[in-house]
Structure 1
Amino acid sequence: MRIPYAPTEPADPTPENTEIYERIRQRRDPRPLIPLDLALLHNPNIADGFNTLLGSIRTKSSLHQAPMEIAVCYVAVLNGAVYEWTAHAPLALKAGVKRDALEAVLKGDVQNSSVLSEEEIDVLEFTRQSTKEIKVGDELMAKLKSRYTDQQVMELTITVGAYNMVSRFLVALDVTESNAKGMRMPE
């Protein structure tokens, strides 16, 4: 990583910092703090806000996990975020994304209707437009609004936006020294 990781225990163990570390540990449980956490914990208050936002996106969304995870995986591909891909590709498969669909995402073949559903193609196009063009076209937005509730459209939007933030952070600091590694399909 381009800066050292923060320690696994607060460098300044104030009650507030200790509580922040504990909240992040609770969200990761049963896993320990991950490198992303240790990169963020240089500023415990920022790490806390990040943990709250991403924790809510991950666990309090009404949008099904499969479209969320395929979007996150495509953000990783678009931004060259190897660590993000490595973390989320297995979650996409676990959420029900078919292996050949995920392979198409990895290859950037995101209009391939022989392996991707219409819903997946729309989610991937939304992800591309939101990530690369920022502005999302009205026709595509109308498609999403016909498929999802307003809340789910918001949840997809915040998911793509949040994971763009994550990928930019991971790549800029080369968290886990993954930038030079290639993206591969999970076993």
Structure 2
Amino acid sequence: MKPNPSATATPAFPEAGLPERLGPPDPLDAAQQAAADALINGPRGGIYGPFRPLLHRPPLLQAIARVGETLRFEGRLDTALREWTICVVAREASNVFEWDMHLPLAEAAGVPPAALAAVERGAPTPADLRSDLALARLVVRELLTGHRLSEETYGRSLSAWGEPETVELLTLVGYFAMVCWLMNVARTPGPQSRGG
């Protein structure tokens, strides 16, 4: 594990490289197989990430998959804002899967590499970062550390995005925090190890 560059830096990914401890059930029962088939034949094209442990509870898997699909494929947020926010959540939650999965998507969406590198190191947000991206990082931090938004941050969010997109961003943060926590406990391998 790499040492932290500062006292305020986010810790490294502690589960990276450890053996998975809550993988898919083996063998799958009929409901689990149906849920697996739906993932394989859906927009994800496979069983990886949080859906590996979620296969233990097919109704949860299906509900959570639908929320994730809505956020990622039917959302109203700008692609760079969405992918940046997912990366910030993944880093704040020290989750290797979502970080490795969404880092290239954020880069492809135009998020500056220097900003992503700052998030990875736990360094301050670069001063020249797009204002909505800087605000999203603040929203993530306030939610994950204080479990709410300050009046100032809430007001800035409404000004930047309006009510519908603010609700979507808050839900995006909560969704990805949830799946990161699940995978951290399950020690789900990163996307380079995707299988199933």
Q: Which TM-score band (shorter chain)?
A: 0.7 to 0.9
Q: Describe how 1:16-27 pairs up with structure 2 within 5 A.
A: 17-27=32-42
Paired residue for 1:72?
A: 86
Q: Do the aligned partners of 2:49 and 2:97 also contact (CA within 8 Å) in 1?
A: no
Structure 1, unpaired ranges of 5+:
179-187
Q: Which residue of 2 aligns with 1:184?
A: none
Specify the alignment match of 2:118 in structure 1: 104
Q: 1:81 to 1:148 in 2, by over 3 A?
A: same
The TM-score, its normalising length taken from structure 1, stands at 0.83
What is the one-letter code of the residue matched to 2:60?
Answer: I
**Residues of 2 paired with 1:67 and 1:110: CA distance?**
18
Give the TM-score normalised by the residue count of structure 2. 0.80
Relative contact order (alpha carbons < 8 A, sep ≥ 6): 1 or 2 greater? Answer: 2
Structure 1 residue 165 corresponds to structure 2 residue 182: no
- Taking a change above 3 Å as real, the CA distance of residues 173 and 19 of structure 1, as seen in their structure-2 partners, is closer
1:183 equivalent in structure 2: none
- Structure 1's 20 and 108: CA in aligned 2 closer, same or farther, altered over 3 A? same
Cα offsets for 1:32-70 (capped at 9, x unmatched): 222432221011111111111111111111111111111
Q: CA deviation at 1:19?
A: 4.2
RMSD value, Cα: 1.8
1:5-154 aligned at under 5 Å gives the runs 5-7=24-26, 11-13=28-30, 17-29=32-44, 31-114=45-128, 116-154=129-167
**Structure 2 gap segments, 5+ residues each:** 1-19, 191-196
User: In 2, are the aligned partners of 1:5 and 1:35 still within 8 Å (CA)?
Assistant: no
Question: Equivalents in 1 of 2:50, 2:121: separation in Å?
Answer: 26
The aligned length equals: 171
Are the aligned partners of 2:83 and 2:106 in contact in 1 as well (CA < 8 Å)?
A: yes
Aligned to 1:181: none
Q: Which has the higher helix share?
A: 1
For 1:147 and 1:52, the matched residues in 2 are separated by 27
What amino acid is the match of 1:21? Answer: A
8 A contact 2:68–2:175 mirrored in 1: yes
1:127 & 1:27 partners in 2: Cα distance?
29
